[in-house]
Structure 1
């Protein structure tokens, strides 16, 4: 049996449950606040419906007003007890009436949630049956890590959560210029049915009571929580100020502060690092009679590089190979940085970030094979080309629709420029003329 077939067999029934309480100290009636003509819970519900292979989406509430609102937009809801201490406790009650093998607990105040992130969470659980609880996380700036309202998580090498805290973990004891990774916990969970059944029997441990974090109940009981990394996410709605920020973002007029919390983190990209063979080329290596290798590059990728550079985004070419043909192409393009014959791409990426004055959250990388995985691990955003092996695609933040050598880099460049309000450079003669002096293909 193929690996893919085995993965398909491991799938079961998926339910997404959206806990939605009417009572909120800081924002009463929060699930029903209006965002662009819809109650907030409807936005969350509709995004959950977009998750591939979802079998049921249900709002779990304790208030008839929310039940009526969900019915008005054609959704499904379940009335639950008003005495639950957490969303997970409410989910346990829902389990009795909603049959599934895997339950995703999605908060009703996350209208900017990305369906792709929920799909990645479910997919990760189906593909590793040893994982009984899953969640999401993403890199965050060290300055953000000091905020006790932002929950941090530290990870084992396999992605399992070692601990969650409101404190800045890991705590950096010595003043050092070394880069330390901080991960923000995204409060979305996936549970296997048997874990939820056991959860209701667990009493809150000291750690949970101290930090006010319900996931510590699971860790204290010895259960594993696997954290799957995604791109930085948009803000949730906790306060009136947060509501206005989300309204502005969804209307297309807002700016995220800090940039790493933007739902489209490409807006903050300042450096793009790309592999060569299999990304800028189709991966083929050819030799002439003298033994000199030559390669086929896509001209649109070259134009994309020059557009990025002209708009203030640095481009770096990072190759595990070296050849005269490659050096000539890089010279023609005039990119800011290039490194050839690289063996450790993680170390090389960190060196390039330092040269470019960019941090991980401002850096995107593009790769196609296992040699690029260390680069994915240290860059804030990673892209795999469409013909990359499945395990490389799974490690990347996103998989592109184009294969290597078919304009994949240009597709990323276009997205970055659009996210940074440079659409006119791509789509208008006047905009292109403003940067055309340095253009080359």
Structure 2
């Protein structure tokens, strides 16, 4: 098959303007993507498709084949359709321009899968994820049939885990291989109701009867969607670390640092008749800390406030790693990591407000509670489903235990009794 890889590169990203040209260790992101695409032996051509003169100039300068496309296109697929008018191929691979760590072998597997299965009209990729990640609506899931044909894509957890032990989840990886005939029809397809409901353009193809095959690969590295994603990718390249997604990152966690007010409490400050400040903690979070510690994961408390109730709660939970009344949370996190003997890549921070942003920046993973402000949630690695003081920390605990292969600790009496010593809440 004549195969062309097309890389849509739009300058006006809402979350990271100018993203294709953002510096990534001396080269723009788009150059990293092109260089990886050029390593795919099955691809005859690699083309950057942009709507901006600045991207065009930079791509042409480093030697990429680049074409200008209509700035009114609403999706990368629409941009790809325009490219097919001048670029002839049997198979077109739509590779996002914000995937500088894409594995060339994965692209090859997609192309080879389309070659081996002539019934597949569109191909894409997927990989396994845990139950916690499956609840994130920003993570698109796919369910497949026995022949790897996609049955449905959704932002909801699919399949529904009525029997949790039988539910296995696959994350959709946003790279597509289209046969030429599919793209010829794409622009004429109506926008289906399911596409509009989910906000997923691949459902337009499924609704029209096209057969999409999802080929499974190993977990993929992060793309660049936000400034925080960019910093994470920079750190991966600078440290020469393996792609975190090649292993379950939560399975490697050794230290969890959590803010107190707004995470372990609901953020309310209650004063009694004598002016003493009272706080409301959630009992399940306390038990979760014990479960983490007995699983070998250290827990630390960090707060900009200091009070007798806070110190009493730390004592009740037997948390010895603690920094209270701090003004510099980044420095406090570094000190905690040094005391614990754990590096940043194995450290998770949980926060709820802008005061936690410095801590987000120095820890390998950052989680925001569900009721955190939108600007904080955008900077987080992931967002929990529960709000502060309502089991958000326990939600993360269960996800870490499951990722480490200890589902029975959270879900069965026998596993809990075997694993947890001195339970407290």
Could you tell me the TM-score, scaled by structure 2's length? 0.58
State yes or no: 1:112 paired with 2:101. yes
Q: Distance in 2 between matches of 1:269 and 1:59?
A: 37
Tell me the equivalent position of 2:170.
183
Secondary structure at 1:251's aligned position in 2? helix
Q: Distance in 1 between matches of 2:248 and 2:152?
A: 29
Tell me the equivalent position of 1:203.
190
State yes or no: 1:126 paired with 2:115. yes
Tell me the equivalent position of 1:21.
10
Secondary structure at 1:185's aligned position in 2? strand
Answer whether contact 2:126 2:214 (CA < 8 A) is retained: yes
Tell me the equivalent position of 1:31.
20
Tell me the equivalent position of 2:236.
249
Structure 2: tracts of 5 or more residues without a match: 253-295, 297-399, 406-425
Tell me the equivalent position of 2:263.
none
> What is the CA distance between 1:133 and its match in structure 2?
0.3
State yes or no: 1:83 paired with 2:72. yes
Structure 1: tracts of 5 or more residues without a match: 1-11, 257-261, 271-311, 313-356, 363-441
Summarize deviations over 1:150-179 as a string: whole Å, max 9, x none: 0111111111111111111111135x4x14
Q: Distance in 1 between matches of 2:99 and 2:167?
A: 28
Q: Distance in 2 between matches of 1:126 and 1:252?
A: 37
**Aligned residue pairs: how many?**
260
Change (3 A) 1:161 1:361: farther
Tell me the equivalent position of 1:214.
201
Pairing 1:42-441 to 2, within 5 Å after superposition: 42-174=31-163, 176=164, 178-252=165-239, 262-265=244-247
Q: Distance in 2 between matches of 1:146 and 1:68?
A: 41
> What is the CA distance between 1:117 and its match in structure 2?
0.2
Q: Distance in 1 between matches of 2:20 and 2:95?
A: 13
Could you tell me the TM-score, scaled by structure 1's length? 0.56
Answer whether contact 1:141 1:361 (CA < 8 A) is retained: no
Change (3 A) 1:17 1:245: same
Answer whether contact 2:250 2:403 (CA < 8 A) is retained: no
Q: Distance in 2 between matches of 1:222 and 1:359?
A: 37
Answer whether contact 1:35 1:247 (CA < 8 A) is retained: yes
Secondary structure at 2:60's aligned position in 1? helix
Q: Distance in 2 between matches of 1:216 and 1:173?
A: 25
Q: Distance in 2 between matches of 1:212 and 1:72?
A: 36
Tell me the equivalent position of 1:417.
none
> What is the CA distance between 1:358 and its match in structure 2?
9.2
> What is the CA distance between 1:254 and its match in structure 2?
6.2
> What is the CA distance between 1:251 and its match in structure 2?
1.5
